[in-house]
Chain A
């Protein structure tokens, strides 16, 4: 049985249903974003941790040219190493039936007679390799899916210069390739990059690696010093062409996962905080108004013997009921969002199972935070109303005090019409409310700007990366550095218009005690198919003696332009070079070091060599060129820019459009919530004034101007502020939050972004205004004359 007071509560709720819904949607957004970001974060972390642990993802990785198997025991003896596994890893050119374009493949050996100790595989479909078979492979799932490969399908690969037919027998996942991205790319191109596992014996025969290995992974003991292990491993591998050991943090898949998780960690709480703050504010203004209308009822309740707490609790229940409704919607919304995110993440990640479940403790936490924010917002309003002594509360509130506004005191306001004065004085009298309203509407503008900014940034990256920096159509890489004469062979292919050789030199860049493993890109000094563009949009040529380096690398190793860095080359004669840094590139992805090809070959004391080339081609002859490239044995990899571009668009565009839709929805909820509530309260506070004006002859249009003028003013103030907020958000995101080694968000906001944000928020405001405008038609003119507020 409901008490009479609770019945009143439900009726209050019914009479405020529009406002209650608007607030509960804001609460719902807060709960949904909190539940989503936190469950996604936890799920990603736990999924990754579980996959890494169960499938024994290694902690240190290293490559070498050719190390004897006998080295394995010495590697295993390095202090801190728990387990070592040696492998053969080779890049190959793969020919997928039905696909003209060449595919870059990575062949990894697995022991014939046992499962790998480290980086174990999860068999999704098909079967394991038959021991001793020399043509069976296991293919990574995304690659198989993108090319519609099933167990039993055949493909061929150029293995050590010989074309070999391979049979896919199983589809697998590996903790090393959760994020499977071709070296040098920023997004996965699953169709043109595949990882495959093959029996060790077959692979070692094919690559003349019997009794040797070229890749090693290690698992460490708890508490082992990673840097120490890396150092010792390098010592052991150096004589065998070691390419530098590295820890998980430099492992490409792990690095990209980490950057996603870090992004969520640092940005995941921003949205919920905004929503909760807006909800608290809305509760404050709505309750302040509601309670001032119920002043006499509160007095009566208290006169009958209800104490302050009873009355306060009564109104708090009103708040909590709305919060509860919002929380229910928010929990549903959160699980919906988590679903979206799963879908988005599943587009790029390869996990045996990635299912983001709503975790109830997190939901409970979200609801308590929402309830806390709501109560905090309402408490002040409730307390102000209930503590008034009954006798005083029975009397009507004294008329509001007004003063001329600052504008008028300065003498500027004289020309203003009276209606404008009413609006300005009202706005100035309720300064706090006005400011917070402006801020809240501004936030919704800001949210749209940020959402749209990501699109602008991506468009910018696309433009820079694929149209301003990479002017080539195809990048070819060779198995090993070859004579630069390879360029003539490439140039002789019909349809190839221009060839520029390049050499990628694995090296450690060291400055002081810090170092990073990178590939130095050595380019002809007059290179034209790859442009080195700095942040001032100036183009650099590879300098004849010195380096041009990514700013991110300079920041990480703490060197500046003019400093001399050490380049410890990890191939050939392995010289150590000391080169000055001549310019920093504000580039968008990776840690890049560029040098002159002639200079590098001279420094390496080698005849002119290249490990690849950039090609500009006649696009009508592309298919023929692909076929010709497949037939050149020295070619290990062919990268087609258009494919990278397509996959970039495919993956990023899809995820981005979901994100944008979500952002837009939230921004509209905030704008509607704030403007609609503001309009309803203004209407309630002003209905007497407005009715009076109607009575003395003002038209509906004229009184609408007064009511909507205030909202209009708030919106107009909010728009520029919101653009500023959006600018700041975007700046922080680009500068501090999304500033990762793998990929950096450029800070670019197009004018259209501001335009969209302003349009959407204006539309939401106009919609709210129209809702309220309809109510103006039903003003009871006669009632106001009779009653005193």
Chain B
């Protein structure tokens, strides 16, 4: 599916984005002027070593953090003008998050964790449908403590996609998992990208994962150093590391 073209609808457009953290008396420049476009339906991998700024970038795109300088547009709206309330609504309607440590609510079952989102969304799928997407409909009554790490992460993915978000942002989704489970999780992400057409951005420092992507964005020292288009996309189950 070689669809990357300038005529595709632009979901995100970042211009000259900088982020400075004031850590006591030291200023940490996490982003030093990033320009970036993400297009509807594409699968992007942000690759870089730890501390390169990729998580900061993802957090800013996801409306968790605000940049120190520069602008970000999301489908024509200026994200950088949003206040806290608007950012919350933005996350609620448009963004699905998947975290390294799953962040499920331990007191809720798999289904209830997903329902947590479907209850506050306008056009969600049912929790069972979402769990079916990640092949976990049979474990829907299990609590997080009764699920393996991979299963927990797939529940987290189901939770993220159940509201049919426009973008799915995944921060090291396989970081805490072994290879086998990691691949199951990536497979789920890939299928969602393809079946639902959700714009997907995955952060990783595992270069193998970039084989799945339409585009790979290399981040280093707070800057985008290069962007590669991937002509030979591979299926998740073909990966190995």
CB within 8 Å of B: which residues of A?
398-404, 417-419, 421-422, 425-426, 429, 688-689, 692-700, 702, 781-782, 784-788
Residues of B within 8 A of A400 (CB): 106-107, 145
Cα A298 to Cα B176 in complex, Å, equals 24
Please report which residues of chain B, range 170-215, place their CB below 8 angstroms from some CB of chain A when the two chains form the complex: 171, 176
Besides A401-B145, A698-B120, 10 new A-B residue pairs in contact (Cβ under 8 A), listed by A number: A399-B144, A402-B108, A403-B143, A689-B105, A693-B116, A694-B88, A695-B97, A695-B103, A696-B116, A786-B100
- Which has the most chain A C-beta neighbours within 10 Å: B85, B91, B107, B144? B107
Which among B55, B65, B95 is the interface contact of A697 at CB below 8 angstroms? B95
Question: Which residues of chain A are near B85, meaning CB under 8 Å?
Answer: 699
Compute how far the CA of A331 lies from the CA of B81 in the bound complex, rounded to whole angstroms.
56
The minimal Cβ–Cβ distance linking B227 to chain A, given in whole angstroms, is: 25
A781 to B103, CA, bound (A): 12
Closest to A428 in B: B107
> In the assembly, what is the distance between CA of A695 and CA of B95, in Å?
9
Cβ-defined contact, B107 with A426, below 8 A: yes
Asked whether B236 is an interface residue with its Cβ less than 8 Å from the other chain, the reply is no
Q: 1/0 contact trace for B95-116 toward A, CB 8 Å?
A: 1110111010111110010011
Which one, B88, B103, B115, contacts A692 given CB within 8 A?
A: B103
Provide the bound-state CA to CA distance between A700 and B85, in Å.
9
Task: Please state if A398 and B107 are interface contacts (CB–CB under 8 Å).
Answer: no
Write the chain A residue with the least CB distance to B147.
Answer: A399
27 A-B pairs with C-beta separation under 8 A: A399-B145, A400-B106, A400-B145, A402-B108, A404-B109, A418-B116, A419-B116, A421-B112, A422-B108, A688-B103, A689-B103, A695-B91, A695-B99, A695-B103, A696-B92, A697-B95, A697-B120, A698-B88, A698-B92, A702-B120, A781-B64, A781-B65, A782-B65, A785-B99, A785-B100, A785-B101, A786-B100
**Cβ distance A428 to chain B, nearest Cβ, rounded Å:** 9
B129 within 8 A of partner (CB): no
Q: Do residues B119 and A421 form an inter-chain contact, with CB atoms below 8 A?
A: no
Residues of B within 8 A of A (CB): 55, 59, 62, 64-65, 85, 88-89, 91-93, 95-97, 99-101, 103, 105-109, 112, 115-117, 119-120, 143-145, 159-160, 171, 176
Most B CB contacts (10 A, CB to CB) among A429, A697, A786 go to A697
Closest chain-A Cβ to B66's Cβ sits at a distance in Å of 11
In the complex, how many angstroms separate the beta carbon of B127 from the nearest chain A beta carbon? 10
In the complex with contacts A399-B145, A695-B91, A782-B64, A422-B105 CB distance below 8 A: yes
Instruction: Please give the distance in Å from A241's CB to the nearest CB on chain B.
Output: 84
Evaluate contact between A418 and B93: CB separation under 8 angstroms: no
Give Cα A692–Cα B101 distance, bound, in whole angstroms.
11
Q: Is the CB of B107 within 8 A of A696?
A: no
Shortest beta-carbon distance from A313 to chain B in Å: 33
Chain B residues contacting A422 (CB-CB under 8 Å) are 105, 107-108
Query: B140: shortest Cβ distance to chain A, in Å?
Result: 13
A785 — nearest CB in chain B belongs to which residue?
B99
- A692 & B93 in contact (Cβ 8 Å cutoff): no
Q: Which 9 A-B pairs have the closest CB atoms?
A: A697-B92, A692-B103, A425-B107, A697-B91, A399-B145, A402-B107, A788-B101, A785-B99, A422-B107
Chain A contacts for B159, CB-based, 8 A = 696
- Tell me whether A402 and B145 are in contact in the complex, defined as CB-CB below 8 angstroms, given that A429-B107, A692-B105 are known contacts: yes
> Which A residues are CB-close (under 8 A) to B160?
696
Q: How far is the CA of A376 from the CA of B92 in the complex (A)?
A: 47
Collect the chain B residues with CB atoms within 8 Å of residue A786's CB: 55, 100
A695 to B160, CA, bound (A): 11
Chain A min CB distance to B169 (Å): 10
Which of B101, B119, B145, B176 makes the CB contact (< 8 A) with A418?
B119
A652 to B105, CA, bound (A): 56
Q: State the CA gap A696–B100 with chains docked (Å).
A: 14
Evaluate contact between B97 and A417: CB separation under 8 angstroms.
no
Query: In the complex, what residues of B have CB within 8 A of residue A697's CB?
Result: 88-89, 91-93, 95, 117, 120
Q: Are A785 and B103 CB-contacts (below 8 A) given A417-B119, A418-B115, A418-B119?
A: yes
Of all chain B residues, the one with the shortest Cβ separation from A788 is: B101
Q: Distance (Å) between the CB of B85 and the closest chain A CB?
A: 8
Contacts of B145 in A (CB 8 A): 398-402
Q: How near does chain B come to A455, taking the closest CB pair, in angstroms?
A: 44
Alpha-carbon gap, A690 to B65, bound state (A): 17
Q: Which of B103, B105, B143 contacts A784 (CB 8 A)?
A: B103
Q: Of the candidates A402, A698, A785, which one forms a contact with B171 in the assembled complex, judged by CB atoms under 8 Å apart?
A: A785
Give bound CA distance, A429 to B108, whole Å.
12
Which A residues lie within 8 Å of B108 (CB)?
Answer: 402, 418, 421-422, 425
Assembly CA distance A784 to B105 (angstroms)? 13
Which secondary structure dominates chain A's binding surface?
helix
| Chain A residues closer than 8 Å to B100, beta-carbon distance | 785-786
A95: shortest Cβ distance to chain B, in Å? Answer: 80
Measured CA separation A787–B120 after assembly (Å):
26
Chain A residue at minimum C-beta to C-beta distance from B56: A782
Give the docked Cα–Cα distance between A399 and B151 (Å).
14
Q: List, in ascending order, chain A residues with CB within 8 A of B59's CB.
A: 782
Closest residue on chain A to residue B160 by CB atoms: A696
Residues of chain B within 8 A (CB-CB) of A788 are 101, 176
- Shortest B198–chain A CB gap in Å is 15
| Minimum CB–CB distance for A552 against chain B, Å | 57
A465 to chain B minimum Cβ distance, whole angstroms, is 57
Tell me, rounded to whole Å, the shortest Cβ–Cβ distance linking B152 to chain A: 9
Residues of B within 8 A of A696 (CB): 91-92, 96-97, 116-117, 159-160
In the complex formed, the residue of B with least CB distance to A429 is B107
Q: Which residues from chain B contact A429 at a C-beta distance below 8 Å? A: 107
Which residue of the partner chain, among A402, A702, A781, contacts B106 with CB atoms under 8 Å? A402
Q: With A417-B119, A782-B59 as known contacts, state yes or no: A399 contacts B95, CB within 8 Å.
A: no
For the complex formed, measure the closest distance between the CB of B49 and the CB atoms of chain A, giving whole angstroms: 15
CB distance from A773 to the nearest CB of B (A): 15
- Determine the distance from Cα of A731 to Cα of B117 in the docked complex, in whole angstroms: 51
Q: Point out the residues of chain A lying under 8 angstroms from B99, CB to CB.
A: 692, 695, 785
Question: CA separation between A696 and B162, bound complex, in Å?
Answer: 12
B15 to chain A, nearest CB (A): 22
Chain B: minimal CB distance from A775 (Å): 16
A429→B143 CA distance, assembly (Å): 13
Query: Which residues from B are CB-within-8-Å of A694?
Result: 88
Question: In the complex, A399→B95 CA distance in Å?
Answer: 27
Q: Kindly list chain B residues whose C-beta atoms are within 8 Å of the C-beta of A700.
A: 88
Give the complex CA separation of A702 and B55 in angstroms. Answer: 26
Contacts of B65 in A (CB 8 A): 781-782
Of A401, A418, A421, most buried by chain B (CB within 10 Å of CB) is: A418
A343 to B219, alpha carbons, bound, how many Å?
77
Bound-complex Cα distance A688 to B119 (A): 21
In angstroms, Cα B107 to Cα A44, docked, is 57
Hey, which chain B residues are within 8 Å of A693, CB to CB? 105, 116
Q: Which residues of B contact A784 (CB under 8 A)?
A: 103
A402–B112 touching, CB < 8 Å: no
Distance (Å) between the CB of A426 and the closest chain B CB? 6
Q: Which residue of B lies closest to A789 (CB)?
A: B101
A781 to B120, CA, bound (A): 19
Determine which residue in A692, A784, A787 has the highest number of CB atoms from chain B within 10 A of its CB, and name it.
A692
Q: How far is the CB of A82 from chain B (nearest CB, A)?
A: 77
Q: A398: shortest Cβ distance to chain B, in Å?
A: 7
Chain A residues whose C-beta falls within 8 Å of the C-beta of B96 in the assembled complex: 696
Which one, B91, B93, B106, B171, contacts A399 given CB within 8 A?
Answer: B106
Question: A417 vs B119: C-alpha distance in the bound complex, in angstroms?
Answer: 9
Query: In this complex, which of A399, A689, A700 has the most chain B Cβ atoms within 10 angstroms of its Cβ?
Result: A399
Complex Cα distance A155/B113, Å?
A: 88
**Closest CB of chain B to A350's CB: distance in Å?**
65
Quote the shortest CB–CB distance from A233 to chain B (angstroms). 78
Residues of B contacting A404 in the complex (Cβ-Cβ under 8 angstroms): 109
For the complex, what is the distance from the CA of A419 to the CA of B113, rounded to whole Å? 10
Say how far B220's CB is from chain A's closest CB, in angstroms.
19
Closest chain-A Cβ to B211's Cβ sits at a distance in Å of 25
Q: Counting chain A CB atoms within 10 Å of each CB, which of B92, B105, B109, B115 scores highest?
A: B105
Contact A401 B97 (CB under 8 A): no
